[in-house]
Structure 1
Amino acid sequence: MRVPTTPSTAGGRSADEQRRTLLRTARDVADDLAADAIARDQAGKPPTDEAARLREAGLLAALTPPGPGRGTDWRTGCAVIREISAADSSVGDVLARHYVHTWGGRFYASHDHDTGLEEESVREQWLWTGAVRTPAPHDDTDGPDLTLRPRSNGYVLNGRRSVDTAVAVADQIVVDAVCAVTGDVLVVRIPPGVRGVTVEPVHDRLGQRVAGAGEVVLDRVTVALGQVLGRRPHDEESTAPFTALAEPALRLALCHVGLGNAEGALTEARDLSRGGRAHRLPGEDPDLLLTYGELASAAQTATAVVDRATEVMAQVLDTGAQLDAEAPAGVAALVATAETVTSKAALHITTRVLELADAPGLDRFWRNARVLTAHRPVAHRLRSIGEHYLNGSHRAVAAFR
């Protein structure tokens, strides 16, 4: 299969030029997605067409970990995710989880990963998704939902797992499962088309309706040794510093999705106001100016916090296996702060724009924000931030789980 020429594959160009080219591609895709975003949200179908758009534009190949002549650095990858999310946060969600899961070989193999897998992902333009759970502070009394049983040259995998995006259209699904013999928690990748894999899409979601959430059912699925990405430690104390970045990396990527969704809502409401489709006349009502000033400030404040966390995450990812043991807790604190600020801003902005402009489909931003923030309570994040601030890195690691 021929890979489209993208900034990640074109040689002879500076990093800045490659970044600009990739962002231009993202803007073109975003414009295409925005044109029919309302109709696709109303249809709520699996993201088959959306995945094809991302693939044809080269974004699936580009948003993979950086390597010689391929991949994208963390800062640029997040910028692309936010650009797409402003047009359609469901598709941004798909792209965010794709990007983070392509890092799985690095996170769970403690950076001693198989570069051939990343090269194959770029060459074949795979779409990745998955659901890897974090170590629980207490034993799970209900037992694991996914189990592996050793066999010659691999394992047999059984169970079921909820997946938030692209469950019916992904090329690789990344999950963790407990070995029934050794008790080790292994992170594996599953091609959905293999024997024993079925998917059950979720229909009629409140928001993120085009993200393709659902459940993957695994019945005696053969897992070759080459499909094992690495081990997920049982607890925080035994987690390698680079592995500890896996969860905050995903949460930070989703911050960009939420922020992009809020920015898209504010931009659409502004354009409607300028076009005379608002409840008040633009430029003549001081209260209208005050409200837009408040919402724009909230978006810019969230942007500043998210960008700072993104910069620090990029620095520690560049450090790789030599990462200091205390660094992950500091990064997690910044990510928790970004989540807190972004969640509050996104809910506030997407609620208020409904009062400013009257147009079909504007409510999708609020519905998407509700789904994106539903599983990350602000109070829990604030306690985590407080734990890190008061007691330092060593005692804060568990607080972010």
Structure 2
Amino acid sequence: MTASAPHTWSTAPSTAEQWVDRAREVAALLAVDAVARDRAGATPHAEVSLLKDSGLVTLLGPVEHGGAGLDWSTAYRVIREVAVGDGSIGQLLGYHYLWFWTARLVATPEQVAAVEERATRERWFFGGAVNPRDSDLTIVDEGDEIVFTGRKSFSTGGKVSDVTVLEGVLEGTEEHVFAIVPSRQDAIVFNDDWDNLGQRLTESGSVEIRGVRVPWSDAAGYVDKRFRPRVYNTLNVPLIQLVFTNFYLGIARGALTAAAAYTRDRTRPWPFAHDVKGTAVEEFHVLDTYGDLQAKLWAAEALADRAAGVIEAINTHPDTVTERERGEAAVVVAAAKQRAIDTGLEVGTRVFDVTGARATANTVGLDIFWRNIRTHSLHDPVAHKRAEVGRYALLGELPEPTWYT
């Protein structure tokens, strides 16, 4: 069975570990034809249906509305597992979780309850048009409604999303407004122009926002057209940076797993060595390389898990989180992200040293892992993450919240 074939589950998992196992099942289905789907570059409707049918899209949703009611620590592990099978779909799921959580980050309690009930019951899949490197969308106040207009060069989720998170600035002010709107409407035009080296199935092309109308009552966190800020509003960046970290790690594990299978089954020992071996898996340099890469990957995963624990501790008291707690979480996440990138790129490159020349064939598809990490790891310069950790280690400085920190 493949990702594009129908698949249903008769029962829902009941524990966090069982949900992680469900993610592994999904990853196994995705892995079967991941290379072919990457080469085809088709819109991943079937893959998103698989995420819905498996129940993974409602992992963070309230139990009373049919969700699993689980935490971010579990969500991060699920993202990592899905990315083992297909990095693009791991990214889509991770972004979905972040945008699902948007209401918790910025909305009023009443808005949170309403959004999470509908999103969970109807199994919404979330996309987002919130690329902060572009000019903000312009928002015009028209009485009972606000109107979003503008363009974003990246909008992950695109045509496979049921709803899209918009963010813009209210005209004549410095007030930012988030809103969740239906993706399928005439005022939203996805341009189908995502044609990049990797993460090819993330539907991350540009989008035109041509007068999307939103009732003021749906402006997240606003009451009587006024927003009441809190520190927790700024946790969106550490949350999504750790999403990145975990699908990088999943992709790296997928690379190591695929390469190991190839080495065991197809790599030939070098016939001109001083000490010729009967099989490639007996060769010292092969064992040394796999041992080195596995140790580095385990270390990077452990740091990511530590960062998830820090995030989880903050989520236990969102209304009282301090700037120091938020800043220290951002530092640990920055450290985890840089380790994941460095390790993932190394794994994606060095697996060819232990698989051999024939493993570069397009039919093998080992290139997909490096391409995926290389593409997305340029989202924001990793050097700035290292500098954030360096300023903390050297000067005790905490990073100030920005759209990338």
TM-score, normalized by the shorter chain, greater than 0.5: yes
Query: SS in structure 2 opposite 1:155?
Result: strand
The gaps in structure 1 that reach 5 residues or longer are 8-16, 137-141, 232-237
Q: Is the 8 A contact 1:5 1:58 kept in 2?
A: no
Residue 268 of structure 1 aligns with which residue?
258
Shift of residue 156, structure 1, vs aligned partner = 1.3
Residue 397 of structure 1 aligns with which residue?
400
Residue 52 of structure 1 aligns with which residue?
49
Residue 310 of structure 1 aligns with which residue?
308
| Residue among 153, 163, 166 paired with 1:162 | 153
Q: Provide the C-alpha distance between the structure 1 equivalents of 2:10 and 2:268, rounded to a whole number of angstroms.
A: 42
1:61 is aligned to 2:58: yes
Q: Provide the C-alpha distance between the structure 2 equivalents of 1:389 and 1:127, rounded to a whole number of angstroms.
A: 39
Seen in structure 2, the aligned counterparts of structure 1 residues 68 and 314 have a Cα distance that, compared at 3 Å, is farther
| Residue among 78, 98, 101 paired with 2:99 | 101
Aligned residue type for 1:172: V
Seen in structure 2, the aligned counterparts of structure 1 residues 164 and 220 have a Cα distance that, compared at 3 Å, is closer
Shift of residue 243, structure 1, vs aligned partner = 1.1
Aligned residue type for 2:323: A
Seen in structure 2, the aligned counterparts of structure 1 residues 149 and 211 have a Cα distance that, compared at 3 Å, is same
Aligned residue type for 1:120: R
Aligned residue type for 2:232: F
| Residue among 19, 30, 38 paired with 2:27 | 30
Query: SS in structure 2 opposite 1:45?
Result: coil
Q: Provide the C-alpha distance between the structure 2 equivalents of 1:81 and 1:355, rounded to a whole number of angstroms.
A: 28
Residue 40 of structure 1 aligns with which residue?
37
Q: Provide the C-alpha distance between the structure 1 equivalents of 2:298 and 2:64, rounded to a whole number of angstroms.
A: 32
Residue 186 of structure 2 aligns with which residue?
195
Q: Is the 8 A contact 1:329 1:396 kept in 2?
A: yes
| Residue among 205, 209, 221 paired with 1:214 | 205
Residue 78 of structure 1 aligns with which residue?
76
Q: Provide the C-alpha distance between the structure 2 equivalents of 1:133 and 1:29, rounded to a whole number of angstroms.
A: 29
| Residue among 309, 317, 320 paired with 1:319 | 317
Seen in structure 2, the aligned counterparts of structure 1 residues 77 and 323 have a Cα distance that, compared at 3 Å, is same
Query: SS in structure 2 opposite 1:214?
Result: coil
Seen in structure 2, the aligned counterparts of structure 1 residues 91 and 150 have a Cα distance that, compared at 3 Å, is same
Aligned residue type for 1:370: R
Query: SS in structure 2 opposite 1:28?
Result: helix
Shift of residue 326, structure 1, vs aligned partner = 1.3
Q: Provide the C-alpha distance between the structure 2 equivalents of 1:152 and 1:36, rounded to a whole number of angstroms.
A: 51
Q: Provide the C-alpha distance between the structure 2 equivalents of 1:267 and 1:379, rounded to a whole number of angstroms.
A: 29
Q: Provide the C-alpha distance between the structure 2 equivalents of 1:351 and 1:299, rounded to a whole number of angstroms.
A: 14
Q: Is the 8 A contact 2:65 2:120 kept in 1?
A: no
| Residue among 376, 383, 398 paired with 1:379 | 383
Shift of residue 111, structure 1, vs aligned partner = 6.6
Q: Provide the C-alpha distance between the structure 2 equivalents of 1:204 and 1:160, rounded to a whole number of angstroms.
A: 18
Q: Provide the C-alpha distance between the structure 2 equivalents of 1:259 and 1:111, rounded to a whole number of angstroms.
A: 34
Residue 13 of structure 1 aligns with which residue?
none
Between 68-77 and 101-110, report the one with greater CA deviation.
68-77
Aligned residue type for 1:171: D
Q: Provide the C-alpha distance between the structure 2 equivalents of 1:41 and 1:295, rounded to a whole number of angstroms.
A: 25
Q: Provide the C-alpha distance between the structure 1 equivalents of 2:184 and 2:331, rounded to a whole number of angstroms.
A: 39
Q: Provide the C-alpha distance between the structure 2 equivalents of 1:111 and 1:342, rounded to a whole number of angstroms.
A: 35
Q: What does the per-residue CA deviation read over 1:158-207, in whole Å, with 9 as the maximum and x for residues that have no partner?
A: 10113352211101111210111443110112211123111112343100
Q: Provide the C-alpha distance between the structure 2 equivalents of 1:371 and 1:50, rounded to a whole number of angstroms.
A: 21
Residue 240 of structure 1 aligns with which residue?
230
Q: Is the 8 A contact 1:190 1:227 kept in 2?
A: no
Identity of counterpart residues, as a percentage?
32
Q: What does the per-residue CA deviation read over 1:208-240, in whole Å, with 9 as the maximum and x for residues that have no partner?
A: 011111112111221122432237xxxxxx962
1:336 is aligned to 2:337: no
Q: Provide the C-alpha distance between the structure 2 equivalents of 1:86 and 1:40, rounded to a whole number of angstroms.
A: 15
Q: Provide the C-alpha distance between the structure 1 equivalents of 2:348 and 2:365, rounded to a whole number of angstroms.
A: 12
Q: Provide the C-alpha distance between the structure 2 equivalents of 1:104 and 1:89, rounded to a whole number of angstroms.
A: 23
Residue 15 of structure 2 aligns with which residue?
18
Residue 177 of structure 2 aligns with which residue?
186
Between 291-300 and 144-153, report the one with greater CA deviation.
144-153
Query: SS in structure 2 opposite 1:322?
Result: coil
Residue 275 of structure 2 aligns with which residue?
none
The gaps in structure 2 that reach 5 residues or longer are 1-8, 223-227, 271-278
1:126 is aligned to 2:116: no
Q: Provide the C-alpha distance between the structure 2 equivalents of 1:112 and 1:353, rounded to a whole number of angstroms.
A: 51
Seen in structure 2, the aligned counterparts of structure 1 residues 337 and 65 have a Cα distance that, compared at 3 Å, is farther
Q: Provide the C-alpha distance between the structure 2 equivalents of 1:279 and 1:91, rounded to a whole number of angstroms.
A: 35
Shift of residue 56, structure 1, vs aligned partner = 1.3
| Residue among 347, 354, 357 paired with 1:356 | 354
Query: SS in structure 2 opposite 1:252?
Result: helix
1:224 is aligned to 2:221: no
Q: Provide the C-alpha distance between the structure 1 equivalents of 2:64 and 2:380, rounded to a whole number of angstroms.
A: 33
Q: Is the 8 A contact 1:150 1:181 kept in 2?
A: no
Residue 12 of structure 2 aligns with which residue?
6
Between 317-326 and 251-260, report the one with greater CA deviation.
317-326
Runs of 4+ that moved beyond 4 A: 65-69, 110-113
Q: Provide the C-alpha distance between the structure 2 equivalents of 1:265 and 1:210, rounded to a whole number of angstroms.
A: 18
Aligned residue type for 1:116: A
Q: Is the 8 A contact 2:136 2:167 kept in 1?
A: no
Shift of residue 313, structure 1, vs aligned partner = 0.7
Residue 369 of structure 1 aligns with which residue?
373
Q: Is the 8 A contact 2:190 2:207 kept in 1?
A: yes
Q: Is the 8 A contact 2:27 2:85 kept in 1?
A: yes
